Amino acid sequence: MKVVIVGGVAGGATAAARMRRLDENAEITVFERSGFVSYANCGLPYYVGGVIKNPGELTLQTPKSFMDRFRVDVRVNHEVTDIDVTGKSVTVKDLTTGAVFEESYDKLLLSPGARPVRPEFSGTDSENIFTLRTVEDTFRLRDAVTDRSVKHVVIAGGGYIGIEVAENLTEKGIDVTIVQRPPQLLAPLDRDMASIVHAKLREKGVVVKTGSSVEGFEHENGKVRVLLKGEAALEADMVVLAIGVRPDTALAEKAGLKTGIKGSIVVNDRMETSASDVYAVGDAVQVENSVTGEDDLISLAGPANKQGRIAADNICGGDSRYRGSQGSSVIKLFDLTIATTGINEKKASAAGLEYDRVVLSPASHATYYPGAKSMVMKVLFEKDTFRILGAQIIGAEGVDKRIDVLAAAMSAGMRAYDLRDLDLAYAPPYSSAKDPVNMVGFMTENLRNGLVKQIHWDELDEVIGREDAFLLDTRTPQEYAAGHIEGFVNIPLDELRDRLGEIDENRTVYIMCQTGLRSYIGCRILSQSGFDCCNISGGYGFLEAIVKDKVPPADLYPCGMNRAR
């Protein structure tokens, strides 16, 4: 069997190695357009910033190592320009010599990846305009910020690459401005959680301009003027385009393969395309969103690796199936970790799902053990079924651990309230006896059983000022004095039972604390005393982060308030 693979990196390289493990006799050839066949593309921004110092660390495999270990013929700087799906051959151009030749195949695997969006603005063809996709792009950008006197960089786009480049350049002492057309950065997050990201960037000196549109570039004396729609231009030494990526599928379209969203290659769950004996994997393919069941584009290394393995199994006569993509991801931002899995509110609404959410700010480990840090967790679930739809977590410690547990629970089909029963590892330096994931289970169980009602920050405007609403803040007088919402009466939780007479029992009580925990306890006290009570989800700290562009403090538990719900 002769197999040709177009493209290396995650999908293609994984498939090649898997095929060899399954079939020692297969003839496997990989054509890679760039000069590197298997590299850590997720690590590229960290080489730009100098965190990864040795460029060799970015290269996971070389043509020689592939040949030595797997007997795979890897040809870098070779671009496949045409596919003949009827004659089962590809046309290849050697980019070093210019020679063009044809290569036949029995099975063909496409792993072309995605390309950075490079809008047709004026002035984009300049040595001062950069993108970041390949190792070569990385070397060019690293050399530019190292060799030149670069003081100010504008990054167009606020996705994963834009954020990571912003962090790394800022750490090198370079002034950074992020320009983003949508009203928030990091689209997988909801607006409320993205507010924490905006606040952290601004805290570190990054200028964040959301709702601003780049219209073009002007160049003069080695500088760049970034032209904005309806705003004054920005002056910069260089610009990084991180507007997003599109499936790199011109080759597939030219060959007549069926395409879908943004020109992506349509495949079935065996990673087979519309052409016989042609497979496709990675960022170039359309997948099923495993939460909504709808077609989607999810450009992440984890799914690409799994797809490469599945395609290899099937090429070698097996029957492996891809179950869809959930979109689990994690990113570092200075001293914060930001992680998501599943869908956000925007996608849930677009899919027509009736959902609710819980917001909590638990500690990363037992609060009596030194060094506990708070995190903000938001978990979405379907209203009637309590099926977990997605989660977003931001914090200084323990974030990746919790998002992985939630991702596994979602994949296993667990309900949100089932999280209460998970038997998770506990020791004071690592967690609490009631892990934050268990706490999500307790909270959703309380909602399911009617022990508490809740409203969210974006529903508060409908409540404040209403005659039938009594607004109660159960924080300490010191917390209340440091900042509160007008109209809220301060009765500290520990005084609540003795001051019930101060609350109008004919009005619905909307109760707030710093994180939503003390207000929940207050709600239980009031409900059992005959009051109609509604807890304000997330608390004042979450609201302050959204409204005042403020990063929630890392230590929200000075008194060790990590109690059961």
**Catalytic residue numbers?**
42
Which residues make beta-bridge pairs with 238? Answer: 153
- H-assigned helices in 101-244: 135-147, 160-171, 191-203
Are the C-beta atoms of residues 513 and 492 closer than 8 Å to each other?
Answer: no
Edge-to-edge strands, sheet with 100-104: 78-84, 89-94, 100-104
Residues 83 and 70: their CA atoms lie apart, in Å, by 26
Three-state secondary structure string covering 455-500: ECHHHHHHCCCCCCEEEEECCCHHHHHHCCCCCCEECCHHHHHHHH
DSSP conformation letters of 113-154: -EEE-----BT-SSTTEE--SSHHHHHHHHHHHHHS---EEE
Q: How far is CA 52 from CA 10, 48, 63, 151, in A?
A: 20, 8, 22, 21
Cβ 488 vs Cβ 475: under 8 Å: no
Angle at 327 between CA 354 and CA 162, to 5 degrees: 115
Single out the residue of 363, 351, 369 nearest to residue 428, CA to CA: 369
**Helix (H, G, I), strand (E, B), or coil: what is residue 69?**
helix
Fill in the amino acid letter for 396: A
Task: Indicate the burial class of 486 (C-beta count within 10 angstroms; 0-12, 13-18, 19 or more).
Answer: exposed
What is the signed CA dihedral for 241, 48, 552, 420, rounded to 10 degrees?
100
Structure tokens that stand for 93 in this block: 């151009």
Within a 10 A sphere around the Cβ of 109, how many other Cβ atoms?
A: 29
- Identify the three-state secondary structure at position 349: helix
